[in-house]
């Protein structure tokens, strides 16, 4: 927004300092007048050896010196105020330069203001923290956009290849082509819906309601029970009532994604999944544990990255689109919660979602 030019803050502070000195000098003169000069006789008083000066004589002798003193205070206030204001505003100029660099897209610059903590130091540190978060967010968004473009391009390329094959081979079975196209189209729809869900969670565009995580666990396990039975995985669910506030749909998606991942990334046969909830004074916990392959700490750190599926980027049956834990992390963050992943020594993974507990009378 365009603004009319005005005096700088340094000039305003300088004039303020000089004005304060002038007012202080005038107050001192007023004190001298009020408590000294008004008690001096108006006229001079003759004495044997001379005379005692009257009020008029003192004023005539004092006035030029008062004028010189006020002029000195004015000059001293302007020069000293200009210098002091410059020293005081030096950190602000550094912050301004960093802001201008950031506005051009350079997020790697940091102010790194030295010295003890004061208002300017707190502002600079807060700005550096904001730049660090923005830089990390932008890098993450760039990686996400590149991965999303690659993942969306894959089904389109497969569709194009299938259509080219059908065009070049008119005798090819239409049923087989239709089956392949349906599978590719289903994958593209799943990926698009996952991207939209992730965007919705990031924007926090939802109404908060009271939600019991234990009920969501029941819904998710009941829905995914056929998949677990088909894969030979047993599900054990239970736990205390764990009430939080948020979007029931998003939190159900969070729970479903966790249970689905625990089923899919499990032992080929006789695997187990444990789902539980717990309530604490200020937080509620949702914990999902599963058996499976032994994971290294390096592998665990990559599991919440978009388009990561287990330990590799290859799609298996029911493997999803690689956004399961990324969506869980985003939904948890949108609900002011955290997501923790812990590799189990005997193999498998423990996922813990920590969310703020609902107030006892919140929605009750």
**pLDDT tens, position by position, 194-213:** 666 666 666 666 788 999 99
Average pLDDT over residues 319-345: 81
Structural contact between residues 54 and 41, judged by C-beta atoms closer than 8 angstroms: yes
Give the angle subtended at the CA of 165 by the CAs of 163 and 171, to the nearest 5°.
Answer: 110
Q: Which residue has the higher pLDDT, 185 or 216?
A: 216
Which are the contacts of 69, defined by CB distance < 8 A and separation ≥ 6?
Answer: 25
Does the pTM of the predicted model rise above 0.95?
no
Average pLDDT over residues 127-136: 86
Calculate what percentage of the chain has a pLDDT beyond 70.
Answer: 76
Residue 176, pLDDT above cutoff 60: yes
How would residue 144 be classed by pLDDT, with cut points 50, 70 and 90? low
Average pLDDT over residues 137-159: 68
Q: What is the DSSP string of 46-71?
A: EETTEEE--HHHHHHHHHHHHHHHHH
Rounded CA gap, 181 and 183, in Å? 5
Q: Which residue has the higher pLDDT, 95 or 39?
A: 95
Give the angle subtended at the CA of 221 by the CAs of 219 and 226, to the nearest 5°.
Answer: 115
Structural contact between residues 98 and 126, judged by C-beta atoms closer than 8 angstroms: no
Using a 10 angstrom Cβ sphere, with 0-12 exposed, 13-18 middle and 19 or more buried, the burial of residue 104 is exposed
Structure tokens at 301: 């750190």
Residue 316, pLDDT above cutoff 50: no
Residue 301, pLDDT above cutoff 80: yes
Average pLDDT over residues 169-174: 64
Q: Which of 146-150, 314-318, 323-327 has the highest mean pLDDT?
A: 323-327
Calculate what percentage of the chain has a pLDDT beyond 90.
Answer: 18
Structural contact between residues 352 and 340, judged by C-beta atoms closer than 8 angstroms: yes
Which of 20-34, 71-85, 170-184, 322-336 is predicted least confidently? Answer: 170-184
Task: Return the pLDDT at 362.
Answer: 47
Q: What is the mean pLDDT of the chain?
A: 80
Task: Return the pLDDT at 146.
Answer: 65
Strands 50-52 and 45-47: antiparallel
Task: Return the pLDDT at 174.
Answer: 63
Rounded CA gap, 215 and 363, in Å? 16
Average pLDDT over residues 121-139: 85
Instruction: Read off φ and ψ for residue 356, nearest 5 degrees.
Output: -65, 140
Alpha helices in 231-353 (DSSP H): 248-264, 297-302, 324-334
């Amino acid at each position: 927004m365009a603004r009319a030019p005005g005096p700088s803050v340094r000039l305003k502070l300088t004039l303020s300092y000089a004005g304060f000195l002038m007012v202080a000098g005038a107050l001192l003169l007023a004190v001298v007048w009020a408590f000294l000069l008004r008690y001096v006789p108006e006229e001079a008083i003759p004495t044997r050896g001379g005379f005692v000066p009257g009020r008029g004589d003192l004023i005539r002798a004092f006035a030029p010196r008062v004028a010189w003193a006020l002029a000195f205070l004015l000059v001293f206030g302007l020069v000293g105020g200009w210098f002091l204001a410059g020293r005081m505003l030096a950190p602000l100029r550094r912050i301004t330069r960093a802001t201008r660099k950031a506005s051009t897209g350079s997020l790697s610059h940091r102010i790194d203001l030295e010295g003890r903590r004061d208002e300017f130091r707190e502002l600079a540190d807060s700005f550096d923290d904001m730049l660090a978060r923005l830089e990390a967010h932008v890098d993450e968004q760039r990686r996400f956009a590149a991965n999303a473009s690659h993942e969306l391009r894959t089904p389109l390329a497969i569709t194009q290849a299938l259509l080219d094959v059908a065009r070049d081979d008119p005798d090819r079975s239409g049923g087989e082509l239709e089956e392949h196209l349906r599978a590719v189209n289903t994958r593209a729809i799943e990926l698009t819906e996952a991207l939209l869900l992730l965007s919705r969670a990031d924007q926090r565009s939802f109404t908060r309601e009271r939600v019991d995580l234990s009920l969501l666990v029941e819904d998710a396990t009941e829905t995914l029970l056929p998949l677990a039975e088909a894969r030979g995985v047993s599900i054990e669910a239970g736990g205390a009532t764990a009430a939080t506030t948020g979007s029931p749909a998003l939190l159900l998606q969070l729970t479903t994604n966790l249970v689905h991942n625990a089923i899919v990334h499990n032992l080929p046969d006789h695997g187990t999944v444990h789902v539980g909830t717990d309530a604490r004074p200020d937080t509620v916990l949702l914990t999902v544990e599963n058996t499976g392959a032994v994971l290294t700490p390096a592998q665990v750190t990559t599991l919440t990255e978009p388009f990561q599926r287990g330990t590799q980027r290859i799609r298996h049956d029911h493997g999803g689109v690689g956004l399961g834990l990324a969506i869980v992390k985003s939904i948890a963050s949108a609900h002011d919660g955290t997501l923790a992943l812990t590799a189990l020594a005997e193999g498998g993974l423990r996922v813990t979602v920590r969310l703020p507990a609902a107030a006892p009378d919140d929605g009750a």
